Each structure stands twice: as C-alpha cells, then as structure tokens.
C-alpha cells in the first residue's frame, strides 16, 4: 500500500446491549494497526439502519469486526458497502432469520425490561452467555452487568425489534469475496461452532477459528487471544 492510499479503518460493532466497553481488551493492540472506530447501534430499530449509520460515519476502506448482533450488522454493511470492505470478521454470531423459539425468548426479555428493569434482564440473560467456569468470575460478571445497565429498556427493545425483523442472510455470504474470518468460543451455546461453519461453507473466501473454553462473550472472556487472532487476520490482508 502506498502512502497515497488510505489505510482501512478498523470498525468494531458491539452486540445486543453492548457498548465500547466490550472491546476494551482489544482496542489498544488494534490501534497499533490503524484507526479504530467503535460503532453505535443505539437509536436504530433495524440492522440495515445501523449499517447505514456506520457507512456514513466512516470514510474509505474498512475492516469490519462484528460481535453477536454486531456480526449481523456487519453482514448488512457488507451488502450495502461491499466495495469498501477489505476484511470481515464475524464473532459469536449467525446469518439465519429468527426461529419461533428465539422470537418468544426475545419478547419475554423485552417484557422483563419494561416490568422490572435492565438489572433483571442482565441477571436472566448473562449466565448462559458465559462459559460455565466463568460464571463465578466476579470481575467479569460485574463488568458485563455494568455495561448492560447502561442500556435502558427503550434501547433494548429497539435492538430486539431489529433482531426479530432481520432477514435470512445466509445466501448473501456467497457474494462476499473479501476475506472472512468467523470466530466463536467452543462453549458458545447461543452461536455454536457449527453455526459458524455453515457460514464459512457458504462464503468463497472464509475460514473458522474456535477458541477453546470460551462462551458467547468472547471479546471479554478471552481478549488477549482474540486480539492475537484479529491482528493476524488484519496483517494478512
């Protein structure tokens, strides 16, 4: 790359109820490679609108890294601005449309947020998202809980609407020709390795990495390992 070319911006897209804190363990190492942009997903009730906001907020080429809901937003961004994306990382996520069981669970959590507040949502939602041996990690649980409490019930409900109204994007993967890296934890029961393998199998230039002993909250359960994986991927671009 010559000095006249703009270096890609590293775009980090957080998941449901998440904010920049979820990336705190990888921002420093990634900032050695280029500018880092933390996307905002608050205030939008569709994944497409979230992607439009990111595309308008960042100029030039991008390496897009999305976690959980953020991975689904990353796919929308890849559809809207594919000529600008030089690399795509999908963390603990999926591309299929919601099942009836998933929809019921999401609506139940929205009702809980309205009735009892976000602390009750955090108490119900968080434990299954972590690897079993991390559920008693007080510092980890307290940090995630504090982040979840920074999202109010309206933000939560809008993001849940976005997820419930999402389209099936499995077929989109075949048309994305930039390098794709799918990463998940071996203990992620919400977005398991098999779900990521299905995405990788549909894309022309994709591979999968599974981080052993880690659950759905990979960016904060294993930030050092994730940083190594991301740096290796970006440098290879």
The pLDDT tens digits for 149-159 are 999 999 999 99
pLDDT at 5: 54
pLDDT value of residue 7: 84
Which positions of the chain have pLDDT values less than 50?
Answer: 1-4
Q: Identify whether the C-beta of residue 120 lies closer than 8 Å to the C-beta of residue 112.
A: yes
Class for domain 9-96+168-236, per CATH?
Answer: alpha beta
Going by their DSSP bridges, the two strands 62-67 and 9-13 should be labelled as parallel
Helix (H) or strand (E) holding 7: none
Beta strands in the chain (DSSP E): 9-13, 36-38, 62-67, 85-91, 180-185, 206-211
Question: What are the angstrom distances between the C-alpha of 202 and each of 96, 115, 175, 190?
Answer: 12, 41, 9, 20
Reduced to 3 states (helix: H, G, I; strand: E, B; else coil), residue 65 is: strand
Non-local (6+) Cβ contacts of 67 within 8 A are 12, 13, 14, 15, 18, 22, 91, 92, 93, 218, 219
The answer to whether the CB of 25 falls within 8 A of the CB of 219 is yes
Task: List the one residue out of 92, 105, 69 whose CA is nearest residue 215.
Answer: 92
Q: What is the pLDDT of residues 115-129, one digit of tens each?
A: 999 999 999 999 999
According to the model, what pLDDT value does residue 2 have?
40
Stretch(es) of the chain classified as CATH 3.40.50.1820: 9-96+168-236
């Amino acid at each position: 790359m010559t000095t006249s070319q703009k270096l890609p911006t590293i775009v980090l897209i957080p998941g449901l109820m998440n904010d920049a804190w979820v990336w705190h363990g990888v921002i420093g190492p990634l900032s050695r490679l280029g500018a880092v942009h933390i996307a905002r997903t608050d205030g939008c009730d569709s994944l497409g609108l979230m992607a439009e906001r990111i595309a308008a907020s960042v100029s030039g080429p991008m390496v897009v890294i999305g976690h959980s809901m953020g991975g689904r937003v990353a796919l929308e961004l890849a559809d809207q601005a594919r000529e600008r994306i030089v690399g795509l990382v999908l963390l603990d996520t999926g591309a299929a449309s919601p099942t009836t069981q998933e929809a019921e669970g999401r609506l139940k959590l929205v009702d809980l947020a309205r009735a009892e507040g976000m602390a009750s949502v955090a108490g119900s939602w968080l434990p299954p998202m972590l690897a079993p041996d991390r559920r008693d990690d007080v510092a980890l649980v307290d940090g995630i809980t504090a982040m979840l409490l920074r999202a109010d019930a309206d933000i939560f409900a809008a993001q849940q609407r976005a997820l419930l109204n999402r389209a099936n994007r499995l077929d989109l993967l075949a048309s994305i020709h930039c390098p794709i890296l799918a990463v998940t934890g071996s203990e992620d029961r919400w977005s398991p390795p098999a779900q990521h393998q299905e995405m990788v199998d549909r894309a022309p230039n994709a591979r999968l990495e599974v981080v052993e002993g880690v659950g759905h909250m990979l960016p904060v359960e294993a930030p050092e390992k994730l940083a190594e994986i991301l740096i290796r991927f970006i440098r290879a671009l």
